[in-house]
A and B are shown apart, each in its own frame.
Chain A
Amino acid sequence: QQQVKQSPQSLIVQKGGISIINCAYENTAFDYFPWYQQFPGKGPALLIAIRPDVSEKKEGRFTISFNKSAKQFSLHIMDSQPGDSATYFCAASRNNFNKFYFGSGTKLNVKP
């Protein structure tokens, strides 16, 4: 059973637009939700993360929105740039358990 479901699988956005990637989870014990960015042939890099005590977290052009009742969280990339073209993974983990459950990934292509 997939613990974290991510959509869409791929996304094309024009430069300057907003990219939105969504994730949903089942386990209400999850309490840490990071987003990772991965370029081809590289390891994932931590972008931004949120805990369920807040509904939104913003770092620069990246914002996580968190809806605890719906068990959903999303990544918004404002003013998307061609350099943002990468694969994005959401993940979730549970306090006192180190294991991360990753989404299936979203390949973002920002067109100039």
Chain B
Amino acid sequence: GAVVSQHPSWVICKSGTSVKIECRSLDFQATTMFWYRQFPKQSLMLMATSNEGSKATYEQGVEKDKFLINHASLTLSTLTVTSAHPEDSSFYICSAQRLAGLGGEQYFGPGTRLTVT
């Protein structure tokens, strides 16, 4: 149980285009999903917290107009990188939390490698 999927697993796009990444909890409902960014050999950097049916909460320094997050259902959240630039190239990882408000376990997806050329 507690499987989280991400699609696509890797994507290459041209500078100026937009890319959408999907995060799904396959066997449980997630009231909260999180989006992280990870640079090589570094820790996970939280970008935003996404609650089903409400606006995402972005961490300080993360451009909300550039990284659009939609949490449309209890099993799906999407991250859209708008007008992507080479500096947006990174490993994006989502996680889903099974229990809200109780410090519940976060289960991570396999990640999406984004390369912007």
Contacts and interface: CB of A to CB of B under 8 A. Distances in A.
Contacts of B113: 41
Nearest to A101: B46
Interface in A52-81: none
B54 interface: no
Interface residues of A, number: 26
Contacts of A98: 32, 34, 49, 97, 100-101, 103-104
A43 B103 contact: no
A102 B44 contact: yes
Contacts, number: 63
A97 B100 CA distance: 9
Nearest to B59: A99
Given A95-B103, A98-B49, A42 B42 contact: no
B101 A100 contact: no
Contact of A45 (B6, B34, B42, B108): B108
A44 B44 CA distance: 9
B43 interface: yes
Given A96-B102, A105-B43, 14 more contacts: A41-B91, A43-B6, A43-B109, A43-B111, A46-B2, A89-B43, A93-B103, A94-B103, A95-B101, A98-B32, A98-B97, A99-B34, A100-B106, A104-B42
Interface of B: 2, 4, 6, 32, 34, 41-44, 46, 49, 91, 93, 95, 97, 100-111, 113
